[in-house]
Amino acid sequence: MNQRVISPRNRGFLFLDSHPAGCRELVNTMWRDIPASRAEPAGDGPVAVVIGSSAGYGLAATLAGLKRAGIRGVGVCFEKAPGARRTATAGWYRTAATSDLARAAGRDMVFLNGDAFSDPMKDQVADVLQERFQGRVDHLVYSVAAPRRTDPDTGATYASVLKPIGAAHRTKTLVFDEDGNPDVREVETEPALGDDIEQTVAVMGGTDWERWIDRLATRGLLAEGFTTAALSYIGSPLTAAIYRQGTIGAAKAHVEATARALDERLARLVGGRAVTSVNGAAVTQSSTAVPGIALYTGLLRGVLGDGLIAPSDQLTDLWDQLTGVTPLVLDGEGRVRLDGWELADEVQRAVAERWAKATTDTIGDLGDLDWFRAEVQRLYGFAVPGVDYTAPTEIDTPWPGC
Ligand SMILES: NC(=O)c1ccc[n+]([C@@H]2O[C@H](COP(=O)([O-])OP(=O)(O)OC[C@H]3O[C@@H](n4cnc5c(N)ncnc54)[C@H](O)[C@@H]3O)[C@@H](O)[C@H]2O)c1
């Protein structure tokens, strides 16, 4: 037993601790909001692997997969255990809560904590599929966002950067001071230099996704009709210089090219499909690191209010398409588009107008900052309705299955 009262301590958008009870309640709320499958899958549901299962879109994929598509299988993520002075990372507690929900729903879901980029993790997942899931996998969702990747073949470690390509880029950005007051300022980001683009593609491009498929194919685990999706983002012209036209955009283009090549291979191999799923903007630990994205997302919510579609709703749609409940609808480049609500012309026009007017004085009226601030806190289990933050909470939650 190691119970403590945990208060938020943060540097910018990064919090030192996370709140176990808040993380659990957040997962429970997401679960309640996901529509159950229309028809309960007969017998055991499809076997799925979700890479990046503890946060953001991967967590949404796991929860929507379990509840909507009736999946069982394996979730992989990279989280830190509780320590002597710090709590575990939020994803650790979210995974414990997700595992409990899966068990209560009668879904056999195994969670593995470690480096998805490594070969031993791929072998471990293959072993679990072999031993526990009759040697087959029907779906794989790839939703990793990471700053670094070590290539198992060469041992070289690559680092991903968020930089424009060609020229420096000045953008408005949103930060909060220590008292939580908003500050709209300009930041300049220097352009990619040297091998910045190659390094970012090596981390966030499609290479590791393909390696997962190769590994599972070599082990003979891909079921007939296997489908796989990797997450991607296009986003607004307002963020294009730093995102889609920047180093991370080069990585996303690589993921999308990988999908097209994998799609051909899988069609031949098992009558399967590979797609990218282009999702809308969401407040996640990774997205808040992108210059300008906090301002953009706060304004987007100011324009859309509740019309901003939550990741779990988007992933419910994706699962329906991956499992054939609804037809797989692809754009001209082989991508499932779940970002139409964000990129609609009238929405982008309204966000651009607000962006032009945004200053420290006006941002409170133009964007939904209460929502944005709360979303950032919720990434760590704070600001979750219904949680008593004055009560001690147990921080030594074991990893599921341990
Ligand atoms: N956040 C957005 O606005 C947005 C929009 C569209 C698409 N996407 C895409 O969704 C994907 C996921 O992004 P996110 O924002 O949900 O990220 P996130 O930071 O919320 O989650 C990242 C996940 O990856 C896991 N992870 C990181 N490194 C790992 C490693 N080495 N091994 C195993 N797991 C590891 C983490 O544990 C976590 O589960 C990315 O491809 C991103 O581009 C994000």
Render 150-207 in DSSP notation, one character per residue: E-TTT--EEE-----SSS-EEEEEEEE-TT--EEEEEEEEPPP-TTHHHHHHHHHSSH
> Of ligand 1's atoms, which has the minimum distance to the CA of residue 148?
31
Name the band, by pLDDT with cuts 50, 70 and 90, for residue 39.
Answer: low
Which residues are tagged catalytic?
243
ipTM of the complex: 0.99
Q: State in Å: Cα 54 to ligand 1 middle.
A: 9
Instruction: Tell me the C-alpha distance between 192 and 22, whole Å.
Output: 39
Rounded average pLDDT over 133-146: 97
What homologous superfamily is domain 3-163+195-282+305-339+377-394 in, according to CATH?
NAD(P)-binding Rossmann-like Domain (3.40.50.720)
pTM for this model (two decimals): 0.97
Which residues lie below 8 Å from residue 28, measured CB to CB, with a gap of 6+?
Answer: 97, 101
Q: State in Å: Cα 86 to ligand 1 middle.
A: 23
> Of ligand 1's atoms, which has the minimum distance to the CA of residue 79?
37
Q: State in Å: Cα 143 to ligand 1 middle.
A: 5
Asked whether the CA dihedral 334, 340, 343, 349 is positive or negative, the reply is: positive
Rounded average pLDDT over 204-223: 98
At residue 303, the 3 state secondary structure works out as helix
pLDDT over threshold 90, residue 46: yes
- Residue 393 Cβ inside 6 Å of ligand 1? The answer reads no
Contact by Cβ (8 Å): 165, 191? yes
- Residue 13 Cβ inside 6 Å of ligand 1? The answer reads no
pLDDT over threshold 80, residue 285: yes
Q: Helices 311-322 & 20-33, crossing angle to 10 degrees?
A: 50
- Residue 113 Cβ inside 6 Å of ligand 1? The answer reads no
**According to the model, what pLDDT value does residue 177 have?**
83
Domain ranges of the chain: 3-163+195-282+305-339+377-394
* Tens digit of each residue's pLDDT (9 = 90 or more) over 193-212: 999 999 999 999 999 999 99
Q: Whose CA is nearest to atom 11 of ligand 1?
A: 143
- Residue 162 Cβ inside 6 Å of ligand 1? The answer reads no
